[in-house]
Structure 1
Amino acid sequence: MNKIDAISASKLNSHVMIQRTKKGRGVFATRKFAQGETVVVGIKIEEVPERTVYSLQMDFNLHVNLDEPACIINHSCDANTGVRNNQFGGYDFVALCDIEADEEITFDYETTEYESIAVSQCLCDSLDCRGKTLGFQFREQMLCERYKEYIAGYLK
């Protein structure tokens, strides 16, 4: 990644902030985002040899750690952002609906993880809560219908 691209990504991420939540830390909007707008640009810091509860899966045998704030975005079974592969070896988190200032930014972990180990007891409190994350392989049809193009490229 060149310096100009990194500066652009970090400038975009300046419209969110990290705060404490009941789940630990979370990412919150500091301004309103319109549906379809990129909310967070996640930049790959490193590849990791195997999946962890913090890594994101980029391909069947590729797991990466992303920079902050991307690595702090919490899961929701009713997420307000979806993912799109980006030029930085990570994901852009794109608004699936209008997001208000002070609203927590969330994404559905099953849209990047073929098999998920991250959430053994979900705390999202959504009406659509699935209880825990299992992974894309177990909910492919539902996830494709719900998130359409906003799932990891390798899962399409």
Structure 2
Amino acid sequence: MNNGYELQGTGSKGEGVFATRFFQVGETVMVGVIDLELDHNHAHASQVSEKRFVLHGGLTSKVNHSCDPNCGVRLNASGAHDYLARQPITEGQEITFDYAMRNYSVEHFAAHCQCGSSRCRGRITGWKDLPAARKADYDGFVAPYLTDIDQRASEQEADKATRNESVVPQPTAQEDPGQ
């Protein structure tokens, strides 16, 4: 059965998944399936919630990283990642996504990214390391727990700033307020 993609050799990166038909923006390219629950993050782990990591089964686990990906991620009913087209994907084009779209922290890859994109960051990073402009560019194509983490961090920073502003400094015992 042809689902619109197949595994092929990429030359420099080993294997990758390539489109065998056209996909339009927003179309589901691949449906994710969880193969195994994990107790921690590692090089092949997919983060599917703030503290849950899994191995995906099937060819979704073979989709390569790109710093300028043609796919984004969406959680499906099983909690796995589906890949959906961020841009039109033509027959023969490699299907890619940015690993930062699913993992808050990525620390398990070589120092140098091999995606070859003109937007390459130089290394594969997690969501926490993306600049705000890149995060905005990925809006609607990332796992929701990543934006939830950012939202909580922003709220905590705002609360902290509010608390600091409401504290009026009092003169110390050594200071004389009458002088």
TM range (shorter): 0.7 to 0.9
Deviation at 1:46, TM superposition (A): 1.3
Larger Cα-atom Rg: 2
- Where do residues 110-149 of structure 1 align in structure 2 (5 Å cutoff)? 110-120=100-110, 121-139=112-130, 141-149=132-140
Secondary structure of the equivalent of 1:145?
Answer: helix
Is this contact kept in 2: 1:136–1:143, CA < 8 A? no
Deviation at 1:129, TM superposition (A): 0.4
Q: Which amino acid aligns with 1:117?
A: E
Measure the CA separation in 2 of the matches of 1:38 and 1:95: 7
Between Structure 1 and Structure 2, the one with more strand by share is 1
- Which has the larger displacement, 56-65 or 99-108? 56-65
Secondary structure of the equivalent of 1:137?
Answer: helix
Question: Structure 2: where are the runs of 5+ without partners?
Answer: 148-179
Among residues 129, 138, 144, which one is paired with 1:153 in the alignment? 144
Question: Structure 1: where are the runs of 5+ without partners?
Answer: 1-10
- Where do residues 83-94 of structure 1 align in structure 2 (5 Å cutoff)? 83-94=73-84
Is this contact kept in 1: 2:99–2:125, CA < 8 A? no
Aligned partner of 2:175 in structure 1 is none
Aligned CA distance change for structure 1 residues 140 and 59 (closer, same or farther; 3 Å): farther
Deviation at 1:58, TM superposition (A): 1.0
Higher relative contact order (CA 8 A, sep 6+): 1
Q: Which amino acid aligns with 1:134?
A: T
Deviation at 1:138, TM superposition (A): 1.5
Secondary structure of the equivalent of 2:88?
Answer: coil
TM-score by length of 2: 0.77
Aligned partner of 1:60 in structure 2 is 50
Answer yes or no: is 1:98 the counterpart of 2:88.
yes
Secondary structure of the equivalent of 2:122?
Answer: coil
Is this contact kept in 2: 1:111–1:143, CA < 8 A? no
Deviation at 1:119, TM superposition (A): 3.1
Q: Deviations along 1:72-126, whole A, 9 cap, x unmatched?
A: 0000000000001101221110001110001000000011111102432211111
Q: Which amino acid aligns with 1:95?
A: A
Is this contact kept in 1: 2:113–2:120, CA < 8 A? yes
Aligned partner of 1:6 in structure 2 is none
Q: Which amino acid aligns with 1:119?
A: F
